[in-house]
Amino acid sequence: MKPGFKLVITVEDIKGRCPAYKKGDKIVLDRGYKFNLQETTACCMHGLGPIMPFYCALAKGIPPKMMGLAPADNRESPKAYIHCPDPCEKTGGGTVLFSVERVEEQ
């Protein structure tokens, strides 16, 4: 059987106070679209919104740099960086920085 892959979405940083996530939490999508409930530690609908436009391209292996999502100091990074839209300074909430990486399974 052909090896599969996962999209691993990791909470890298939180600015303010987020009621849903803590640093290091993960959302794991088998084959890039199916929630892996055993490996997912937390999931918030607000955080999924900004990821949705990019997850198909990332699942297909499009490099993050081609979408402007690679870090400025490492354009060849396999990780894309996407931000939660909560304007925490105004709402008193928290905004989350996610990394998204395609991980090949052996």
Q: Which residues make beta-bridge pairs with 5?
A: 104
* Residue 2 scores a pLDDT above 60: no
pLDDT given for residue 3 in this prediction: 66
Give the domain range for residue 10: 5-104
Q: What is the pLDDT of residues 11-40, one digit of tens each?
A: 999 999 998 999 999 999 999 889 999 999
| Number of structural domains found in the chain | 1
User: 31: Cβ–Cβ under 8 A, 6 or more apart, which residues?
Assistant: 4, 5, 6, 59
Q: What is the pLDDT of residues 81-96, one digit of tens each?
A: 999 988 888 888 889 9
Lowest pLDDT segment from 7-11, 37-41, 65-69, 91-95: 91-95
- Greater confidence (75 vs 37) lies with 37
